[in-house]
Amino acid sequence: MDVARRSGRSLRRARSLLLGAVLLAVAGVPAPAGAQSPAATCQAPLELSSDGRAGPLALERSAYTITVADSGRLSCDQARRELRGFLERDDGRLPRPWTVDRQTSTFTRGDPRDAGAASFSLERRTDPAAAAAGGGFLDELQDFAIVWLPIIFMALIAFGLLWMLRYMPRTKPQEIKPQSSDSIGWEEVAGVEEAKAELREVVEFLRDPKRFRALGARVPKGILLHGPPGTGKTLLAKAVAHESKARFFAQSASSFVEMFAGLGAARIRRLFRVARKQAPAIVFIDELDAVGATRGNDVSGEKDQTLNQLLVELDGFAGGDDLVVIGASNLLDKLDPALLRPGRFDRQIFVTPPDLTGRKQILSVHTRGKPLVEGVDLELVARQTSGLTGADLANICNEAAIFAGREHREAIGTRDFQAAIERVVAGMQSRRVITDHEKRVVAYHEAGHALCSELLPSIEKVHRISIIPRGRALGYTLNLPEEDRYLKTKAELMDYLVVLLGGRVTEHLIFGQITTGASDDLKKVHEISRSMVTQYGMGTDLQSKQLPADDYSMSDATRRMVDEEQQFIADQAHRRALRMVGEHRPLLEAFAQRLLDNEVLERADIEQLVAEHEAVQPALPRLEPLNGGASAAPRIAASEGLERGGRSEPGAG
């Protein structure tokens, strides 16, 4: 047993000694120089002192690096020796079996497609310092671009947005407190009594809302004031705010419309938010048609979005808001139907130009605080300004004060008001110089207008004739009505066409030729005669329907008929004017000669000349029922009676 153990230990000891001797022998044998392990890569430098060729590959003088992919088949020293041999050949060819790839500068021994073929490549070296410096700069530049360029780009975008916000228009609603100097009371608003009566109910509600809420009433959410420009819509809104002791926030609708998307809606939200904090308050939006036009016509959609926000604000009022929206517009037909329905703008008030009584009240308001000469008749001024609005009358009062101040007078007289009316109606006096011949043409032209106006009883009497240039006109004939008229008969319109053509036919009758001075008269003749046929049904055959100009369903035959009817009316007025001027030549010459002497004829001068050359003129005709019922003869125009060869009886129109 012991012998067996000892023999086993001896065997294991011998085996270990043998293994150690083998390992020691392997480790102690030095490896031959230049030997590498299989499939290892090696590199070797190569310096060329002159240009040369390695077969078809041209090499310049420089430093190169030889790279051997598999040093087991070809060592770096062998590759260097082979390359020097290639350079020493004079025939420019590589010895067999070597080949070269000129694109990659790779030399291969044998078939390049053989994966086991020995090969090496040649690469040109650069200066280590320059390479290190160049590579470092490019790397740093690349790193800088990757890190900072996105940050710089975002900073530029932020700067652009801040710059746009800086120059973005900022609008703030104008606030007028009840007791401020800009507030206006009922006594300062005249000539619009019907509108004031409608708005007084809103004032009472805002003053004492509990009294109305006890009866289940609620304040109107919106009130729309519409009518011609200058009739006092803004003044009415300010007066409502003052009388109701409410805050007044005014903003033009045009300030809601901007090129920036969403800005208009944001401004509307801001306006109503500020107004609700100051309730009871009134929000006044002037020129509502700028934002409230019918939706679907805006290309950008910004106006539609702004209008939608306004509709939401009008619907979002609570019962106890004590907030009233007042809108003003000159174009009611242009507004969106959703804006006009009950629940948004509950009341629509038409503000009309003032009548005679209203004009007198407006003149009294605007002359308050102005010194007037004793005897100034404001009622006469009111009669002479028929059809003018409150803004026009305020302008007349201001112009009259300017005329008086220009002449260093201490009070405003009647002649100042007359000069102001002339300035507002006819325009500013011009200093242009016209020749004597043109002055004669203008004098006869205006005399023709005045003659027809005086001979036709349905036409307003001539207040002044002037051949002094004003505005764009070289002369003018000023007809001022003595009363307000709202209806016109066909006979009155025909007589007015005769007056318009009176100047034109006078030029042709006196000088044998026509000028361009009647261009405005011809324009009015075209508009009136067209309206008589297409809108008022005053044609010969077309009497029972309207024919709008934009009705594209109208047939060509109907259009031809409209043109013929219009031409017939204009030609008829031309014939009547020509006959009237020819039959009253002495009065025409008297008007023209007096104008050439004085340049201006007042009403007293006109009445004197008419009395010297003509009989007493008939009174202004009225639109009254025909005597005798349907069997009575129809009323004819005064100019038509003259055309038939006789003077029409008083009352014909």
Instruction: Looking at 41-90, list the stretches that DSSP marks H as alpha helix, in order from N- to C-terminal side.
Output: 76-88
Look up tokens 């120089």; give the residue. 33
The answer to whether the beta carbons of residues 45 and 63 sit under 8 Å apart is yes
Is 88 a known active-site residue?
no
Q: Which two tokens stand for residue 623?
A: 């639109």
Give the C-alpha distances (Å, rounded to integers) separating 275 from 47, 169, 220, 310, 323: 90, 21, 16, 14, 8
- Rounded Cα distance between 118 and 67, Å, is 12
- Rounded Cα distance between 133 and 519, Å, is 86
- Rounded Cα distance between 325 and 344, Å, is 9
- Rounded Cα distance between 60 and 50, Å, is 7
- Beta strands 476-479 and 281-286 are unpaired
Nearest by Cα to 505 from 490, 491, 480, 525: 525
Q: Which of 446, 454, 640, 643 is catalytic?
A: 446
- Rounded Cα distance between 468 and 480, Å, is 19
Question: Whats the size of the chain, residue-wise?
Answer: 653
Give the C-alpha distances (Å, rounded to integers) separating 426 from 138, 445, 480: 80, 17, 12
Residue 500 has φ and ψ, to the nearest 5°, of -65, -35
Q: Which two tokens stand for residue 374?
A: 């004793």
- Rounded Cα distance between 221 and 319, Å, is 10
Strands laid side by side in the 476-479 sheet: 476-479, 462-466, 600-602
Cα–Cα–Cα angle for 366, 370, 374, rounded to 5 degrees:
110
* Residues 6+ positions from 538 with CB-CB distance below 8 Å: 490, 493, 532, 569
Our measurement of the distance from residue 123's CA atom to the centroid of its chain's CA atoms, rounded to an integer in Å, reads 71
- Rounded Cα distance between 403 and 409, Å, is 9
Nearest by Cα to 182 from 253, 241, 254, 270: 241
Cα–Cα–Cα angle for 201, 249, 210, rounded to 5 degrees:
35
Burial class from Cβ neighbours inside 10 Å (0-12, 13-18, 19+) for residue 141 reads exposed
Our measurement of the distance from residue 521's CA atom to the centroid of its chain's CA atoms, rounded to an integer in Å, reads 33
- Rounded Cα distance between 653 and 647, Å, is 12
* Residues 6+ positions from 59 with CB-CB distance below 8 Å: 48, 51, 52, 53, 87, 122
Nearest by Cα to 85 from 117, 45, 52: 52
Task: Tell me the helix, strand and coil percentages in the chain, rounded to 5.
Answer: 50, 15, 35
User: Catalytic residue numbers?
Assistant: 446
